[in-house]
Amino acid sequence: MQDLLLMSALLVPSRDAAPIEQAVIVTSARWDSRRATLRRFERTGQGWVRQGRAVRAWLGSNGFAPARTRRQNSGQTPAGVFDLPSAFGHGKSGSVSLPYHRITPRSYWPYDPRDPYTYNVLQTKRIKSARWRDDGQWSERLLDYGRAYRYAVVIGYNLPEAVYRGPAGQWRAARPARTHKGGGIFLHVSRHRPTAGCVAIPQRAMREVQRWLDPQANPHIVMGPEAVTRDWRKRLRATASSSSVS
């Protein structure tokens, strides 16, 4: 049942009509920057209020790329606005409100173009007839990433829709993701180096973010260089300097 709830939250379309009450802003100086700053905000009766401290983040080894042009294996983090539908990990999760998957030795995240129907779909086991490759290049055995995935949140980039449990328990998408755009884009614990396209922050901050996110607040992440995030921050219309989204 837990896996069914997770898949529903992970792979349904974003609730575009719902107001965004929590926002995570990841800003770099340039498109090709490997480092960025992560800030988070929550809408209150007084407007948008910053939550916690700003933290330094690692990006992909080749910086940001616009989500519409980002390609698989580019080493770039997609820039844009995305929902944050679910979380996973193997650390002490505590009070996580997002749909949560505790990873096991059987947890995989494939993004193998030769099997579009499982592309960017969390798998709770690998069946013998699976077409996606388990070679470390076209899929991730999540537990192999150690501390990086101790606390993690899925970023809603290029996720498929209409996911169902297929033969032998494999999860498949009736409306697959785009196999040239890449997958497995997460917010996770930093290993003190650039990522393959994810956003990584210190463990304590990542654990705090994971616990703070509330699905009822329709949380979203805004990622990109200053020119991209500045425009979005202006639309938050902060009501006071103490709650300014800058």
Q: Residue 155: beta bridge partners?
A: none
Q: Which two tokens stand for residue 29?
A: 């100086």
CA atoms within 13 Å, Cβ hemisphere of 27: 16
Q: How far apart are alpha carbons 25 and 205 in whole angstroms?
A: 14
Our count of domains for the chain comes to: 1
- Measured torsion, CA atoms of residues 205, 209, 210, 216, in degrees rounded to the nearest 10: 170
Q: Residue 154: beta bridge partners?
A: 186
The residue type at 19: P
Name residues whose C-beta falls within 8 Å of residue 112's C-beta, 6 or more positions apart in sequence: 118, 119, 131, 132, 133, 138, 139
- Residue 246 belongs to a domain: no
pTM score, whole prediction: 0.89
Which residue ranges in the chain fall short of pLDDT 50?
A: 1-15, 237-246
Q: What is the DSSP code (8-state) at residue 113?
A: T
What pLDDT score was predicted for residue 180?
97
Which domain range does residue 175 map to? 2-241
